[in-house]
Amino acid sequence: MKKDVYILGIESSCDETSISIVKNGVEDVYTCVSTQMDTHANFGGVVPEIASRMHTENITFVLEDVMSNSGISWDMIDAIAVTYAPGLMGCLLVGIEFAKTLSLIYKKPLIAVHHIAGHIYANNLVERIEFPSLGLVVSGGHTELILLKGDYDFEVLGSTLDDAVGECYDKIARIIGFKYPGGPNIDKHALLGKHTYDLPKPMDDDSLNFSFSGLKSYIINLVHNEKQRGKEVNVDDLARSFQDVAVEQLVRKSRLAIEKYDSSRMIVAGGVSANAYLRDELRNMCEEKSVHFSVPPMRYCTDNATMIAAAAYPLFLKNDFSNFTLNAKSHEYFFDKKD
């Protein structure tokens, strides 16, 4: 009988310290996430120096929680996986050095996982990704439509020409005056508002590319102009108007890709896939086109180590291990990585 594979994953690229044990790349045995969100909210965004110090303070307690409550002992663990890119340099280094130390002490192979691969493989925690599938990657640094042809065999069909959609959510949240984290706050306030602002509709073409910077600049100017005239914007209505336009672009391009590539399956990945309106609109579009739709539950859309351990599984099967020269890469773009 084939032996079960248990991978311990570590994620510390931004403001969540998380460790998880995943069985066979699909089953979340136990996950602990310690978030620093409340601390950074006082500063309006993640303060890198504070974030890395907090990871150092928290990571041992997070591991202790996992090893005490998962029911898994060190001798059952087959490999240690860690996020090596992209993210805040100091934060990534805490996770990487912790992973190397565990790998050395317990003599377990080390697996380097790209954060975006983690977001993609979070889908395996719901139902195993079947190939080929169309993927929409939406995060703070990525906006791509991809063709998933096999494990780690992804072709970019279209991408943003400027800002990533998550970056746009965060900038607009800040200009409107919403607290950090911006994306989830726009999501919430949009529910309370009406689409009253007439905003430009970017990339109204047949390509599979996206653009968000024009929309962002338009909204920044609009808010400044209103302020100069002594008027206040209606924040809920502006959040709703922006979200409608941004999500419409993501859904329209996804529909185009489904048609162009005759896709019968679609997955979504990345932090912005936590957006309730985007999830609903994509699900409706896929239903209409009889396309099988899959999106991870909320807890696997925001940063977590479960997705890192899940993404490490196909690498484990290929014996794709790292050595102790592994270093953090704060800006590595996932789809540039060639095997």
Region 218-277 residues binding Zn ion, contact defined as CB under 5 A: 271
Q: Which is nearer to ligand KG4, 28 or 303 (CB)?
A: 303
> Could you tell me the two tokens for 101?
């130390």
Residues at the interface with ligand KG4 (CB under 6 A): 115, 119, 139-141, 166, 169-170, 181-184, 187, 270-272, 274-275, 303
Which DSSP helix (H) or strand (E) runs through 80? Answer: strand 79-85
Least distance between ligand KG4 and beta carbon 54 (Å): 17
Torsion 87-116-294-165 (CA) sign: positive
In 3-state terms the chain splits into helix, strand, coil percentages (rounded to 5) of: 45, 20, 35
Q: Which is nearer to Zn ion, 90 or 193 (CB)?
A: 90
Region 142-201 residues binding Zn ion, contact defined as CB under 5 A: none
Q: Is 49 exposed, middle or buried (CB count within 10 Å of its CB: 0-12, 13-18, 19+)? A: exposed
Which does residue 170 bind out of Zn ion, ligand KG4, none, counting CB within 5 to 8 angstroms by kind? Answer: ligand KG4
Q: In what order do the strands lie in the sheet with 110-114?
A: 27-35, 16-23, 6-11, 79-85, 110-114
Which does residue 182 bind out of ligand KG4, Zn ion, none, counting CB within 5 to 8 angstroms by kind? Answer: ligand KG4
Q: Which is nearer to ligand KG4, 257 or 274 (CB)?
A: 274
Least distance between Zn ion and beta carbon 271 (Å): 5
* 28 near Zn ion, rule: CB under 5 A: no
Region 268-287 residues binding Zn ion, contact defined as CB under 5 A: 271
**Residue carrying structure tokens 């890198």:** 48
**Residue carrying structure tokens 């672009």:** 249
- Distance in angstroms (rounded) separating the CA atoms of residues 310 and 8: 9
Residues forming beta bridges with residue 154, ordered by sequence position = 148
Binds Zn ion by CB under 5 A, chosen from 253, 279, 303, 304: 303
Pairing of strands 6-11, 79-85: parallel
Least distance between ligand KG4 and beta carbon 261 (Å): 24
Residue number of the CB closest to Zn ion reads 303
Q: Which is nearer to ligand KG4, 281 or 303 (CB)?
A: 303
Least distance between Zn ion and beta carbon 183 (Å): 11
Taking a C-beta distance cutoff of 8 angstroms, is the pair 210, 158 a contact? yes
Interacting residues with Zn ion (CB under 5 A): 271, 303
